[in-house]
Amino acid sequence: MQTAGTLNITKTNCGAPIRDKSQVYSDTAAAFSILAAVFIVQRFAYKIYQKLAICLDDWFALLTMIIAVPGAIINAHYVPANGLGRDIWTLTPQQITTFLKLFYFQEIIYVIEVSVLKLSFLFFYRRIFPGTTIRWLVWGTIACNTLVGAVFTLVCIFQCRPIQYFWEQWDQEHRGQCLNINAIGWSSAAISIALDVWMLALPLWQIRTLRLDWKKKIGVGLMFGTGAFITIVSILRLRSLLAFRSDSMNPTWEFFEVGLWSAVEICIGIVCACLPSLRLLLVHAFPKQFGTSARRDTARYIHMYDAGSRLGSRPRQKHADDTDALHAQTFKGVGDRDAFKLVVTRHLGGLDPDANK
């Protein structure tokens, strides 16, 4: 970045061809942001319509979307307008400075989004896994993820001294120092991917204990395995990060893939976090296609694992009515393995948990 001013003059005078992928970036970011918003709306609309309790995993998914809104606006309008996807020598000095400011703020927002999104998945696991061991593992992962998110957020904020040197250094007219931005990006991405893999392993480890035939196990596995899409996108982002250098003489062009995969990753993560609720919505809309026992299974799920409460009312007391007593009898004497089996089949909304007893 230090020689960007000289390069600007040289390339312009030499008549270098003008390249522009900014529209691709803004269109892609906008499309995925809208998709994520639609999934969040259906998640909450379904719960409100069914009068289900809104739990921590729901709130963290919503919080991720709220944090993503400023980033989506920046991605759709301000980043492309200030040079992302274009060669740096086609930009004005003010555009270069503005681009680097946006780069800085987007980096911080991204780290926070990733951490909060993971919390949505982890609190979902915490809610549906009854085993003591798995719950301690989930709590440990929550603590680790929160710590990693906090550390990298602070590192990103204070990576340069003074902070504004991050977007002022390119013209070589200001003094300061920065940490290695590549090392920050690579280590953050690598740790995030490692956490993703671990979070995929947690539910799959539980699925192996289910007393279901292999077809139903695959169905359950696919529901949790959707998180693999996030990991794949994270790996693609890391690959683009490895190709990007902090001393690049053309950062506005070379950062294109990193910015694109970062925007897509968050949106795909929100979609994956909302897929279980989409499954329940489809079960209610098309019970014949998704299982004849859908409504009965969902009702049991509501009573046993949505805090036993209705939206806007106090939590129900144990055995408050005949229905609750029936559900309590159903679970009386049931071990963790069978309890998990019941919970998971409720989320899939159409598998019969007693079919293979």
Sign of CA dihedral 343, 292, 61, 79: positive
Q: Residue 110 has what pLDDT?
A: 94
Same domain, 94 and 181: yes
Secondary element (H or E) of residue 178? strand 177-178
> 10-residue block means of pLDDT along the chain (357 residues)?
54 67 90 94 90 91 94 88 89 92 93 95 87 90 97 96 92 88 91 93 77 64 73 87 78 88 92 85 70 48 41 40 35 42 46 41
Question: For residue 138, which phi and psi values (nearest 5 degrees)?
Answer: -65, -45
Same domain, 195 and 144: yes
Q: Residue 207 has what pLDDT?
A: 74
Same domain, 235 and 324: no
Q: Residue 336 has what pLDDT?
A: 43
Residues contacting 90, CB < 8 A, separation 6+: 12, 18, 83
Q: By the 8 A CB rule, do 177 and 161 touch?
A: yes
Same domain, 167 and 37: yes
Note the pTM of the prediction, 2 decimals.
0.78
Residues contacting 197, CB < 8 A, separation 6+: 231
Q: Is residue 95 part of a domain?
A: yes
Q: Is residue 325 part of a domain?
A: yes
Q: Residue 255 has what pLDDT?
A: 87
3-state secondary structure of 348: helix
Look at residues 218, 253, 275 and tell me which one is the last residue of a structural domain.
275
Same domain, 268 and 293: no
Same domain, 224 and 256: yes
Q: Residue 152 has what pLDDT?
A: 96
Domain around 102: 4-10+21-275
Q: Is residue 209 part of a domain?
A: yes
**Residue 86: both structure tokens together:** 């274009």
Same domain, 226 and 262: yes
CA distance 170 to 83: 14
Question: For residue 86, which phi and psi values (nearest 5 degrees)?
Answer: -130, 160
Q: Residue 173 has what pLDDT?
A: 85
CA distance 230 to 262: 11
Q: Residue 270 has what pLDDT?
A: 94
Same domain, 44 and 143: yes
Q: Is residue 353 part of a domain?
A: no
Helices then strands, counting H and E runs in the chain, come out as 16, 2
Same domain, 138 and 224: yes
Number of structural domains found in the chain: 2
Look at residues 275, 307, 330 and tell me which one is the last residue of a structural domain.
275
Listed residue (5, 36, 63, 28) closest to 230, CA to CA: 36
Q: Residue 283 has what pLDDT?
A: 74
Q: Is residue 212 part of a domain?
A: yes
CATH number of 224's domain: 1.20.1070
Q: Residue 174 has what pLDDT?
A: 87
Same domain, 271 and 293: no
